A and B are shown apart, each in its own frame.
Chain A
Amino acid sequence: MKKLCPAVLFLWLSQSFFLCPASAVPPDQKSASIQIKGSDTMVNLGQAWAEAFNAIHSNVNVAVTGGGSGTGIAAMINGTCDIAESSRAVEEKEIKQAEAKGIRFNQEAVALDGIAVVVHPSNPIKNLTMDQLREIFMGNIKSWKILGGPDWPIVLLSREVNSGTHIFFKEHVLRRGKKKAQEEFSPGALMMPSSYAIAEEVANNENTIGYYGMGYISPRQKVIAVAKDAQSPFVEPTLPAVRTNAYPISRPLYLYTNGTPKGVVKEFIDFAYSKEGQEIVKKTDFVPIR
């Protein structure tokens, strides 16, 4: 008895640690549920879809949580969600980890997003090139004065590493789209837990520069117009600019499922692509893909 107990306890513990079962969705059941997890950028979009979807399919319970694209993809690999929302494509590494667990990613690009670079409204800087942004976020330009602004120190605001926005910004702006490059955010960059936290700090602190999905744009922050290079025009992140690819920092937003979607999961994805679903994309300040 005495010897057995720790062993039993350990088994029990390890079960609850390792074997969190996927919430499987049997299509034939009367009431079903869909677990959606992932990108913080997309959490409002997912929520709006879920509400509208629920109005049509009242027997389906859709739960949407954020945490970051990496969180959603990790949850899919670990089998704890049905749909992963992600603002970046899955990586080679993650595909391998998934394969080891018998999970095959199915990718659906359902919307587009422009990443807005923002500063405090009192900052006179209006335009920046991609190269300038790169130098700023790598920590090589430390004062607004060098960019023709006032003599204020630059405080960098970045998202945490679990954010798809963080990864996209790093690969697209810092590494100029080269996957193998080694550029990193300055270690001095503040890692903010959410886009909301970035918006708040930018609104309250005139030294800051930050980035977030264009859904968060508000008059309390000033949006910077970005140029691809010194010869190109400066473009603000607007709906037409993202759609025509004129704005240089934009990306597709994905829904991932395990294999070809079936049952209510398929219905949900079809809904996201539908006219009504794409209308919701527009309403939540993203750019429709269809």
Chain B
Amino acid sequence: MAKLRKFKEAIIEKLIFLSGIASIVFVALIFIFLLREGISVLKSTSLGAFLGGKFWYPISDPPKFGILPLILGSLLVTLGAIAMAVPLGIAAAFYIAEVAPFRLRNILKSFVEILSAIPSVVLGFLGITILVPFLKRFLDLPTGLTAFAGSIMLAFMAMPTIISISEDAINAVPREYKEGAIALGATHWQTLHRVIIHGALPGIIAAAMLGIGRVFGETMAVMMVTGNAAVIPNSLFEPVRTLTATIAAEMGEAAKGSPHYNALFAIGIVLFVISFLINLTADLFLNRSRKR
């Protein structure tokens, strides 16, 4: 009987172990797969021409696989979104965690959750029917399909991440800090911006980084509102094409094993590496904030 129980436990242990390492295995497999399919792009173009090329004409003969405009497009949209979402998100987190009355706090929190639950294609749909024509008229642009429209959409999507993680970080600041500051005669505002913000800073930075990660990898809403012109952008108010939108728009057309197919996987590698770096930075800051 005891033997059977031991045997059972051993099996359960193994199963739990498997589920535990599954995510590592999956990430590794995905990366291997990406690498295997993407690396052959170097047969049709050099690394420099791939990362630094200014023209993306994937189906021409000979094709041009220059993803510089796409990288810059992704970065521009992300920067724009972050410039909007980070200050707003952090301010909202402070309001929810420190200022708002208890009842309002719960209402706000559930609305933030609802915001995060809106599918991106729905946001994109609203963007193309409402935001894009509005931007064109309001800013007198040649077209409303611009990086700026994408940034606004993405700011909406990054806000819930930034708010909830920042709020956790603020709540994690030891109570004594706050009590000490108030005991020393600091006002509520002084306590907030001289004491609590310092305690919560690593967590807030991590929140911002995770928000950036969310924005950088987003596809659908961006594809619908940014115009998708593969041109190096001069400002936020011009059309851009992002890395993600390029994969999504062209993957269906590329026959397996063709240079175009490999180039799209190579874009996948670039995306993977950049997202990985963003998440790694976020993790470093998150760990620092936990150690305190």
Q: Select one of A17, A93, A188, A205 contacting B229, CB under 8 A.
A: A188
Residues of B within 8 A of A77 (CB): 255-256
Contact across chains for A74 and B128 when beta carbons are under 8 A apart: no
With contact pairs A74-B254, A97-B255 given, residues A187 and B143 touching in the complex (Cβ less than 8 Å): no
- Minimum CB distance partner of B60 in chain A: A184
Q: Is the beta-carbon distance between A188 and B231 smaller than 8 angstroms?
A: yes
A191–B228 CB distance below 8 A: yes
Known A-B contacts A70-B253, A71-B253, A193-B249; A201 and B145 likewise in contact (beta carbons under 8 Å)? yes
- Among A200-214, those with CB < 8 Å from B are 200-201, 204-205, 207-208
Most buried by A among B60, B229, B257: B229
User: Number of B residues contacting the other chain (C-beta, 8 Å)?
Assistant: 40
A207 touches B143 (CB 8 A): yes
Q: Which of B60, B142, B223, B254 contacts A193 (CB 8 A)?
A: B223
Residue in A68, A161, A189 with the greatest tally of chain B CB atoms within 10 Å: A161
Q: Which of the 9-residue segments A2-10, A21-29, A53-61 touches chain B? A: A2-10
Given A155-B142, A193-B224, A204-B133: A97 touches B257 (CB 8 Å cut-off): yes
B255 adjacent to A191 (CB under 8 Å): no
Interface residues on A, range: 35 or more
Residue in A77, A93, A190, A197 with the greatest tally of chain B CB atoms within 10 Å: A190
Most buried by B among A71, A155, A187: A187
Q: Taking the complex as formed, is B57 at the interface, i.e. its CB lies under 8 A from any CB of chain A? A: yes
Give 27 CB contacts A-B under 8 Å.
A6-B29, A9-B25, A18-B256, A67-B252, A68-B253, A70-B252, A70-B253, A74-B252, A74-B253, A74-B255, A74-B256, A93-B61, A155-B142, A160-B250, A161-B58, A167-B59, A184-B60, A187-B54, A187-B230, A191-B241, A191-B249, A193-B223, A193-B228, A201-B143, A201-B145, A205-B136, A205-B144
Residue ranges of A at the interface with B (Cβ–Cβ < 8 Å): 1, 5-6, 9-10, 13, 17-18, 67-68, 70-71, 73-74, 77-78, 93-94, 97, 152-153, 155, 160-162, 167, 182, 184, 187-193, 197, 200-201, 204-205, 207-208
Given known contacts A187-B55, A201-B143, what 12 new A-B pairs fall within 8 Å (CB)? Answer: A6-B28, A13-B33, A18-B256, A73-B255, A74-B253, A74-B254, A93-B258, A161-B58, A162-B252, A205-B133, A205-B136, A205-B144
Query: B residues bordering A, Cβ < 8 Å?
Result: 14, 18, 25, 28-29, 33, 54-61, 69, 128, 133, 136, 142-145, 223-224, 227-231, 239, 241, 249-250, 252-258
